[in-house]
Structure 1
């Protein structure tokens, strides 16, 4: 498990920090069962949080729900990335750059990479979504600057703006032209 507190968007290393009222905590869990991996994340409030933090968390959760509803067999992953980016920006936030959703199966991270923004300028290029694929979508939301900054521990990641961030992730399978979310608790 990675525990990402407040300004840490992903890959937070658990420590002895005592959570305080008003904190937000990203919990990213990986699992392995019968040789296959699973992955999911949520950002959770600690007690009563600010309206701004509520909106931040809602953006990552709503972006993920929007992405799941947008997925169509035959669409390019870059089209999905572009739609995700537009959704995030319409809410007044920016995606974290350099990190992405991913294929998953016998390894925790497999092809394809699925950024939360359009790489390049042609969304109608690259791999397409097909029946039988299993992958993770994980909106990582920053407030002003999505440039990643890796901490001295070489793992915990913040955004360059130093502001609070939010992250949601689901693992899903596509079959019979439908999306089945595998990481719903």
Structure 2
């Protein structure tokens, strides 16, 4: 496994792409309200990215048809924007990739539409809090498997389970690079595998299910749900390891 070590100037380039991702997510979060369609929000996001000199990196990636993954309610990740009109009580996840000058950014948020239930707010809070808890606990020299265990234990502490078969990832000149970073420990030993080093850049993205973490892909060949059919949530940041600490690149 070859995990890239980025030079400071590379990280500055990645910061530009990721700042655009963050700004786009903020725009969509502010405009996601009852009566808006997923297609309208996708168009808003794509236009903003292009107006700022970027390219919606997900559009056409592996055949995905849009620039913004819009995942509503039971769809946890990879939802395709369509004519669905958001309504009070929905949860919607926005996942965005941006390419600018050959460097990629990637992040995601989940937001509630109008008044949502406490149970759904807890679900959103779990994905967000898991992400920041993991970032705060990153240390140079720890193994990625140890980081996966940190993610898993925090999710379980909130009474939820991680979505399986999907993971965080490295990022740089490509939208998905080594390593893969599951939100759960694979195998019995966290003290195995590559270590986190200065200059590494990667995406952490907790994907939260309520009862079962077994993934099911819907007929559109993209939308991922849990086999339990219950609502899920998703948060993501791109982080760089700089001066022995994790720095969030995809923050406004």
In structure 2, the gaps of 5 or more residues are 1-67
Distance, in Å, in 2 between the alignment partners of 1:115 and 1:94 is 12
1:182 match: 249
- Measure how far apart 1:100 and its partner are: 0.3
Root-mean-square deviation (CA), in Å?
Answer: 0.5
CA distance in 2, matches of 1:85, 1:143: 13
- Where do 1:10-159 residues align within 5 Å? 10-159=77-226
Query: Paired residue for 2:237?
Result: 170
Q: CA deviation at 1:178?
A: 1.3
Q: What is the number of residues matched between the two proteins? A: 185
Counterparts of 1:178 and 1:90, CA distance in 2: 25
Q: State the Cα distance separating 1:34 from its structure 2 match.
A: 1.2
Distance in 1 (CA, whole Å) between partners of 2:117 and 2:226 is: 20
Q: Output the CA distance in 2 between the equivalents of 1:174 and 1:83.
A: 17
Name the SS of the counterpart of 1:37 in structure 2.
strand
Normalization by structure 1: what TM-score?
0.99
Instruction: Give me the whole-angstrom Cα distance separating, in 2, the residues matched to 1:178 and 1:51.
Output: 34
Q: How far apart are residue 83 of structure 1 and its match?
A: 1.1
Could you say what secondary structure the match of 1:82 adopts? helix
Partner of 2:238, secondary structure, is strand
TM-score, normalised to structure 2, is: 0.73
- Report the 3-state secondary structure (helix = DSSP H, G, I; strand = E; otherwise coil) of the residue aligned with 2:230: coil
> Secondary structure of the equivalent of 1:88?
helix
Of 60, 70, 77 in structure 2, the residue corresponding to residue 3 of structure 1 is 70
SS of the residue 1:172 aligns to = strand
Shift of 1:179: 1.1
Higher strand share: 1
Cα deviation digits, residues 125-181 of structure 1 (max 9, x gap): 011100000000000000000100001111110011000000000001001101110
Which whole-Å CA distance do the structure 2 matches of 1:77 and 1:138 have between them?
14
Report the Cα distance in structure 2 between the residues aligned to 1:12 and 1:136, rounded to whole angstroms.
19
